[in-house]
Amino acid sequence: MSEIRIARRQLLQGTLALGGLAALGGLAGCSNEGRGDAGSQAENSTVTLPTYIPYAGFTADLPGENGVSDTMLSYPADPQPITDGPPGDGQDVSAFALTNNPVPPAMDQNAFWQELNERLGFTLSVSLVPSGDYTDRFQTTVAGDRLPDLFTFWPKGIPGLPSLLHERATDLTELLSGDAIEKYPFLASIPTESWKSSVYGGRIYGIPIARGAQSSVVLYGRYDLLEEQGIDPAAQSWDDMYSMFAELSSTNTWALANVPLQIIRQSFGLPNGWSVDGDTWVSANEDERQLDALEAGRRLVADGLVHPDTTSADNQQRQAWTIAGTTRFVEDTFSAWPAFANLSGDQAVDLNVILPPLAEGGGMAPIWRAAPTHNLTGISLRSADRAEALLDVLNYLAAPFGSSEHLFKNYGLEGVHHTLVDGDPVLNDKGKSETQLALRYLAEGPWVTYMPGRPDVAQSLYDVQTEAVPTAISNPSSTLFSETESRKGPQIGSALSDLEVDILQGRKPVSAWTDAVATWKKDGGDAMRDEFAEAFAASAEG
């Protein structure tokens, strides 16, 4: 069993700048009209979102507040079923879903998949696509009119999304709006903030997968290796951080698996995406502190403190470098701990979260809170006549923590996919492989922090989140829709991202950022600003 641990660090104290966080109280999910024109941003403020009904049968060991996830130190004893028989209408169901894991064995070689179908009472066919390829594959599937019964999609980044959903997805408004959600009690436990991202053109088109703080980016460090070198990670400024990274790097080891640019930007006080002052919206791209952050990142690369293969490696490779000790730090999300645990195997690894100091010193910098919705699941318009049955299937897959449905969905069969260790279901190699059907991206209740057999990890994550999440800065556009962002955002954003890499690698000067942002604004950034401001104002009026 893994000995991975995420210990609570001694956090820096001081006054935290809340930035745009205070402006988020009145946000509502907004979009444009479904035919691809700008439409009325006010439409979305009139839709009644599903009534929020927390599942009463679950009690957390460590209840979360102010955005912190509920946490369990052990799995509840004797899980019982909480559904009445198989869901759906007995007909087979097909799904197209994103995944961040290796593709599992095929159905005829997968005991978990076969047992899942037995419990569902029908065959669930899932076509899995790696998240990095998903947008292209999704658009190809839509263009070929091949969307299956269920499909996952991101709330942003897909060109013309409102039009696409209007033409290819089932309108779920009447089935889910207000108290209608009571028919699907596990979907009703999804927080309202996540449902705001499901509204396009004044209609509800998807089931949200709520993540929120769990997708927030932090810096993980190998504190056991730091301790061996007598290094205290409690840096008081960015200069302290740099000095620590420099001391940790040598010929065959590097301080960093990647350039922690989000962490650097947090340290330098940059807003999360956009800042809002009254009715004035300003992109973080325009902030002069971007130049300071980029210079800090460029210096890390130039001085050999970042693994030289980072630009050609994927996230799993960077995680593996850190677990192996080749690198000491890696930028990743709170939700990455299962991946670290899987990679560490039986190796004893002391992996901790370090929160960024303010660049000039004086306390801890607030982190950036991730969007409340990771992705959504829609129902194909071809399957509209089965919408209620398919929602029943999604409700089943969203069964809450502690139920036998949840236990099987996540950990499979005892003795086949997991072993009980002091009552906790610990996945074996077969379980880690066969259960990766992306079911958590099809339907999922509120996130619960839990690490089978490792209550110290769960406690540590709860502790660090309790310190960092309540003061985290949200992106005010996270639940708003901009047609320009949908159609042009990926293209103009990629131009900035490419330049960012060139700057970090020393191929372009930091000063090139200013002209590139001016081009970004002209090519769509200013239009995005105006559309977000309009959507924000409409949500406040609604």
Select, from the ranges 4-18, 22-36, 517-531, the one with the highest average predicted confidence (pLDDT): 517-531
Q: Are residues 138 and 45 in the same domain?
A: yes
Q: Are residues 94 and 205 in the same domain?
A: yes
Residue partners of 210: CB distance under 8 A and separation at least 6? 190, 191, 193, 194, 372, 373, 374, 444, 445, 446, 447
Secondary structure (3-state) at 265: helix
Q: Residue range 533-540: average pLDDT?
A: 86
Secondary structure (3-state) at 49: coil
- Give the residue from 447, 470, 493 where a domain finishes: 470
Residue 542's pLDDT band, with cuts at 50, 70 and 90, is low
List the domain range (segments joined by +) for residue 423: 41-214+372-470
Q: Which of 14-23, 187-196, 414-423, 506-515 has the lowest mean pLDDT?
A: 14-23
pLDDT value for 160:
83
Is residue 398 in a domain? Answer: yes
Quote the percentage of the chain above a pLDDT of 90: 75
Residue partners of 295: CB distance under 8 A and separation at least 6? 510
Is residue 18 in a domain? Answer: no
Is residue 14 in a domain? Answer: no
Nearest Cα neighbor of 481 from 156, 211, 43 is: 156
Report CA torsion sign: 301, 307, 311, 314.
negative
pLDDT value for 46:
79
Q: Are residues 520 and 381 in the same domain?
A: no
Residue 22 has pLDDT above 70, yes or no: no
Q: List the end-to-end C-alpha distance of the chain, in Å, as a whole number.
A: 52
| Kind of pairing between the strands at 327-333 and 254-256 | parallel
Give residue 322's Cα distance to chain centre: 21
pLDDT value for 234:
87
pLDDT tens-place string over residues 237-290: 999 999 999 999 998 999 999 999 999 999 999 999 999 998 899 999 999 999
Nearest Cα neighbor of 181 from 52, 372, 373, 47 is: 52
Is residue 28 in a domain? Answer: no
Q: Are residues 454 and 355 in the same domain?
A: no
pLDDT value for 212:
78
Q: Residue range 403-409: average pLDDT?
A: 98
Average pLDDT, the chain: 89
Q: Are residues 170 and 231 in the same domain?
A: no
Q: Residue range 419-428: average pLDDT?
A: 94
Residue 56 has pLDDT above 70, yes or no: yes
Q: Are residues 131 and 238 in the same domain?
A: no
Q: Residue range 94-122: average pLDDT?
A: 95
Residue type, 161: L
Token reading at 12: 């820096």
Rounded Cα distance between 16 and 255, Å, is 27
Q: Are residues 360 and 240 in the same domain?
A: yes
Is residue 53 in a domain? Answer: yes
pLDDT tens-place string over residues 288-323: 999 999 999 999 999 999 999 999 988 889 999 999
Q: Are residues 349 and 379 in the same domain?
A: no
Q: Are residues 426 and 300 in the same domain?
A: no
- Give the residue from 470, 497, 532 where a domain finishes: 470
Residue 57 has pLDDT above 50, yes or no: yes
Residue 362's pLDDT band, with cuts at 50, 70 and 90, is very high
Token reading at 252: 């065959």
Is residue 11 in a domain? Answer: no
Q: Phi/psi of residue 194, each to 5°?
A: -75, -30
Q: Name the one residue in this structure whose structure tokens are 């992109």.
A: 283
Quote the percentage of the chain above a pLDDT of 70: 91
Is residue 502 in a domain? Answer: yes
User: Which comes out higher in pLDDT, residue 248 or 17?
Assistant: 248
pLDDT value for 9:
35
pTM (2 d.p.): 0.86
pLDDT value for 42:
52
Residue 516 has pLDDT above 90, yes or no: yes
pLDDT tens-place string over residues 120-165: 999 999 999 988 888 889 989 998 999 999 999 999 878 888 889 9
Q: Residue range 437-441: average pLDDT?
A: 95
pLDDT value for 7:
38
Please give the tally of structural domains in the chain: 2
pLDDT tens-place string over residues 483-498: 899 889 988 999 999 9
- Give the residue from 433, 452, 470 where a domain finishes: 470
Q: Are residues 348 and 489 in the same domain?
A: yes
**CATH code of the domain covering residue 400:** 3.40.190.10
Is residue 337 in a domain? Answer: yes
pLDDT value for 541:
64
Residue 521 has pLDDT above 70, yes or no: yes
Residue 36's pLDDT band, with cuts at 50, 70 and 90, is very low
Q: Are residues 313 and 169 in the same domain?
A: no
Q: Which of 11-25, 300-314, 411-425, 524-538 has the lowest mean pLDDT?
A: 11-25
Q: Are residues 145 and 91 in the same domain?
A: yes
Q: Which of 39-48, 86-95, 429-438 has the lowest mean pLDDT?
A: 39-48
